[in-house]
Amino acid sequence: MTVTINAQNTKWEKVLASLESKIERHVYDGFFSETKLVELNGDEIVIFSPSAPMLNQFLNYQPTYKDILSSIISSVFAKNYQIKIVGDTTTTTSTTTTINTNNNNYQYFANCKINPRYTFENFVTGECNKEAMKASLMVATSPSALYNPLFIYSKAGLGKTHLLHAIGNYYQEKNPGAKVLYITTDAFIDEFVKYVHGHQDTQSLKEFFNTVDLLLVDDIQFLADKEKTSEHFFYIFNALVNNGKQIILTSDRHPKDIRGLEDRLVSRFNMGLSVQIFKPDTETLLNILKRKIILQGLEVKNYDENGLLFLAETFSRNVRELEGALNRLLFHTVSLGGDEKVTFEDIKEAVRIILPKSDKNSNVLTEELIIKEVSEYYNISQEQILSKVRTAQIALARRIAMYLCRFLIGSSYPKIGEIFDRDHSTVITGVEKVENELKTDNQLIKAISDLKKRLKK
């Protein structure tokens, strides 16, 4: 047995050696050098990586590397395998929280620190941010080789600052001796203004920047109309880029759209790569919620799935807002024991006072409005929906109305029963039927999605 494992380990070393010769040094060092073979399990090859989530993300976004790895594995092991990357789940949380960011004890910008919780592992990706994630991963593993500067822009609360810190955390972890500096543009302006007014020489501040290996600047749009500070920034920017140091900038808009930003800065910022983060879709928001629940050490399964969906759909403007809603929920449910369920009603109650205006005011969604909309959609009368008539179309509309009452506004089964004049077990059966049919019935999926849209207007 030991012999077999040893033999396989030797083969894994061969895989690594071959990989090392085929891909770029920084990619190999950043992602593969610490991998180990765990086991061969049927058609699956299980590989351990101390940063498994990162490696998984990387392989998803860089299929070329996955192809290279697969083909080396199949030639060394003489068989095609599905690759599965695993991490040490027992230590994942602690490694994330104990990352040593060598946190800013520099002589300047004392208040600008890198947040160890903002890591790549904690950043949930979807269509909206995958470009930004990919570019961030690339500059973190391969600074200054690809795009300099990397410019990340989006509306507020969509994860720019998080990604900036994640790059800093990752880079610092891989290069413990390096000097990583995270600053906000406001802090940059303040620091310079302080020296100008204090009649001190800005030279030493500029020299300080010369010692920085990786510069992360948040919210660069605030440099607009700041002529004097822009000049200093231009100088620092050029010095760093000329020395092969990576700069990553964020902004609430594309460089060309920042009014009042000097042309020469705009053109410098355009030298590298600009990536945008878009508004997340519901699925990504739901995944973010779940990830944040797990990070709190709580169990996602204790939270009503439709309640979480309600949060993701209601607080969908940006992630910060969604986090605010989740924080309220956690605050409200803090007294619940570890395994107690958090119901849809709990969730709705927790966020009631922070519901967006349109949900709180006159057009707040009610069971009556749902019934009205569904009857119009199916071209039947409200009386028919509420009646005992069982023709297929009417029964379907009735079930859908019950389902929407349950999952759009969290009405309790007894309450729906009362409105439809049925006992609550009949309501449960009807709602469950819709849930089941939704798994396969495309027409029903479309009807529900149409109705949700109409009800949200």
* Residues near Mg ion (CB under 5 A): 160-161
The region of 7-15, 123-131, 359-367, 430-438 touching ligand ADP under the rule CB under 6 A is 123-131
Residue 195 interacts with which of Mg ion, ligand ADP, none, CB < 5 to 8 Å by class: none
Residue 400 interacts with which of Mg ion, ligand ADP, none, CB < 5 to 8 Å by class: none
Comparison of 55 and 180: residue with beta carbon closer to Mg ion: 180
Burial class for 214, CB neighbours closer than 10 Å (0-12, 13-18, 19+): buried
The answer to whether 123 and 133 have CB atoms below 8 angstroms apart is yes
129 binds ligand ADP per the rule CB under 6 A:
yes
Dist. CA 433–CA 404, nearest whole Å: 13
Comparison of 57 and 154: residue with beta carbon closer to ligand ADP: 154
Residue 71, C-beta contacts closer than 8 angstroms, at least 6 positions apart: none
Residues 360-419 that bind ligand ADP (CB under 6 A): none
User: Minimum CB separation from Mg ion for residue 218, in Å?
Assistant: 6
158 binds ligand ADP per the rule CB under 6 A:
yes
User: Minimum CB separation from Mg ion for residue 52, in Å?
Assistant: 28
161 binds ligand ADP per the rule CB under 6 A:
yes
Dist. CA 259–CA 293, nearest whole Å: 40
Indicate the residue whose CB is closest to ligand ADP.
Answer: 159
39: part of which helix (H) or strand (E)? strand 36-41
288 binds ligand ADP per the rule CB under 6 A:
yes
Residue from 32, 123, 192, 315 binding ligand ADP (CB under 6 A)? 123
The answer to whether 247 and 215 have CB atoms below 8 angstroms apart is yes
Residue 159 interacts with which of Mg ion, ligand ADP, none, CB < 5 to 8 Å by class: ligand ADP
User: Minimum CB separation from Mg ion for residue 161, in Å?
Assistant: 3
Residue 15, C-beta contacts closer than 8 angstroms, at least 6 positions apart: 69, 72, 73, 76
Comparison of 19 and 319: residue with beta carbon closer to ligand ADP: 319
* DSSP letters for 384-431: HHHSS---HHHHHHHHHHHHHHHHHH---HHHHHHHHTS-HHHHHHHH
* Mask for 240-279, x = binds ligand ADP (CB under 6 A): ----------------------------------------
User: Minimum CB separation from Mg ion for residue 22, in Å?
Assistant: 38
Taking each helix axis as running N to C, give the angle between helix 442-456 and helix 424-437, from 0 to 180 degrees, rounded to the nearest 10: 110
User: Minimum CB separation from ligand ADP for residue 14, in Å?
Assistant: 37
Give phi and psi for 367, each to the nearest 5: -60, -40
Residues 138-157 that bind ligand ADP (CB under 6 A): 154, 156-157
Residue 378, C-beta contacts closer than 8 angstroms, at least 6 positions apart: 393, 394, 396, 397
User: Minimum CB separation from ligand ADP for residue 191, in Å?
Assistant: 21
The answer to whether 278 and 155 have CB atoms below 8 angstroms apart is no
Enumerate the β-bridge partners of residue 218. Answer: 184
Contact positions toward ligand ADP, by CB under 6 A?
Answer: 118, 122-124, 129, 154, 156-162, 288, 319-320, 323
